[in-house]
Amino acid sequence: MKKFVITALLFLVTTLGFAQDGRTKINYYNRTSQTLQMLIDGNPACSFDVMPGGTCTDSVNPGSYIIGATNGKQTTRRAISLEEGQTFDYTLTEEDSVNTLPNQSRANFVTVADPYTPILYTYTDLGFSIGSPIVLTRDAGENTTTHTGSPYVITYIHGTFANDDYLAIFVGVYNMQTTHDDLARIAKGFAEGAKGTIESQYTRYTSSGQEALCSVINLPADEDGRVVSFAHMAIVKGNRSYQVVFGTYTDTKSDMDAVAAFFKSFSIL
């Protein structure tokens, strides 16, 4: 079970360098009494903090984003997806928290009417579900063979953040039963296919109770000196294998809370 489709890396690299066309926008409206820093994928949006009653506009590429705002103490988060030429209006409002402790002053919290929630994907035919911070696309399954010549079908599900960070799930369906030993083979096969090196590994358990082998896989630096790193989680059950993958340039600021939630949410049905 060493032969896997490693199109994740190719997809990640080909997403780099697209210019913003100015037609796809996010409008941030500050309707609070506080100065706010607007956020996109954990980074500052716009070129300035927004005063109470103010607004700012961020031109972006079509795609999926985690947007939000912070007053330095509280932060909002929400997943959105924008098509070409679409404008999304994001309005921040304010409410008082309930004073449940004596001698404590009331505090203002930045709030939004539609707080961040992951997008839940359930793939009954593939036997799993996962909560994603970005929109995922499912490709058609591809017929291929293992290194021993046994046929199997691999399905590729993927999505890309605005900063080119990458999420993916690979599902292999075989005509034979998987075993515990396949976990290490899967991780090794992904690393070899991506021409990377396994830097570290550890075992954890999914929310549905399956053992998972987690690996950090780094690729050699490219011509610009940048290194791609993958977080890879392998799970097997019955005649299926699952690979949950996050890819990023190591010099990129990533929304690791969202990524951690993505891995943690994986569940076998």
Give the domain CATH number at 221.
3.40.1000.10
Q: Pick the more confident residue, 198 or 20.
A: 198
- SS (HEC) of the chain: CCCCCCHHHHHHHHCCCCCCCCCCEEEEEECCCCCEEEEECCEECCCCCECCCCEEEEECCCEEEEEEEECCCCEEEEEEEECCCCEEEEEEEEEECCCCCCCCCCCEEEECCCCCCCEEEEECCCCEEEEECCCCEECCCEEEECCCCCEEEEEEEEEEECCCCEEEEEEEEECCCCCCCHHHHHHHHHHHHCCCEEEEEEEEECCCCCEEEEEEEECCCCCCCCCEEEEEEEEEECCEEEEEEEEEECCCCCCHHHHHHHHHHCEEC
Residues in the chain: 269
Residue 23: its pLDDT value, please? 79
Same domain? For 127 and 256 the reply is: yes
Same domain? For 223 and 148 the reply is: yes
User: How many domains would you assign to the chain?
Assistant: 2
| pTM for this predicted structure | 0.66
Where in the sequence is the domain holding 207, given as residue range(s)? 7-15+118-268
Last residue of a domain, one of 80, 111, 142: 111
Same domain? For 123 and 224 the reply is: yes
Contacts of 21 (CB under 8 A, 6+ apart): 59, 61, 84
| Statement: residue 62 has pLDDT above 90 | no
| Mean per-residue pLDDT, 107-121 | 64
Contacts of 111 (CB under 8 A, 6+ apart): 76, 92, 93, 94, 95
pLDDT digits (tens, 9 = 90+) for 203-234: 999 888 899 999 999 999 888 898 999 999 99
* Residue 1, in any domain of the structure: no
Same domain? For 144 and 96 the reply is: no
Same domain? For 164 and 200 the reply is: yes
* Residue 136, in any domain of the structure: yes
Residue 95: its pLDDT value, please? 65
Residue 2: its pLDDT value, please? 28
Alpha-carbon span 11 to 5, nearest angstrom: 12
Alpha-carbon span 189 to 236, nearest angstrom: 14
> In one letter, which amino acid is 113?
A
| Statement: residue 101 has pLDDT above 80 | no
- Tell me the percentage of the chain whose pLDDT exceeds 70: 83
Last residue of a domain, one of 111, 140, 173: 111
Same domain? For 258 and 135 the reply is: yes
* Residue 2, in any domain of the structure: no
Residue 224: its pLDDT value, please? 87
Same domain? For 175 and 43 the reply is: no
* Residue 234, in any domain of the structure: yes
Last residue of a domain, one of 111, 131, 166: 111
Same domain? For 153 and 238 the reply is: yes
Kindly report which listed range (110-114, 170-174, 257-261) carries the lowest average pLDDT score: 110-114
| Mean per-residue pLDDT, 194-200 | 92
Same domain? For 85 and 213 the reply is: no
* Residue 263, in any domain of the structure: yes
| Statement: residue 258 has pLDDT above 70 | yes
Alpha-carbon span 163 to 174, nearest angstrom: 35
Same domain? For 123 and 107 the reply is: no
Same domain? For 250 and 174 the reply is: yes
* Residue 79, in any domain of the structure: yes
List the beta bridge partners of residue 200: 216
Q: What is the CATH number of the domain that holds 99?
A: 2.60.40.10
Same domain? For 99 and 126 the reply is: no
The model's confidence at residue 168, banded by pLDDT at 50, 70 and 90, is very high
- The pair of structure tokens assigned to 170 is 């690979």
Cα dist from 163 to 64, 132, 209, 234, whole Å: 10, 16, 33, 25
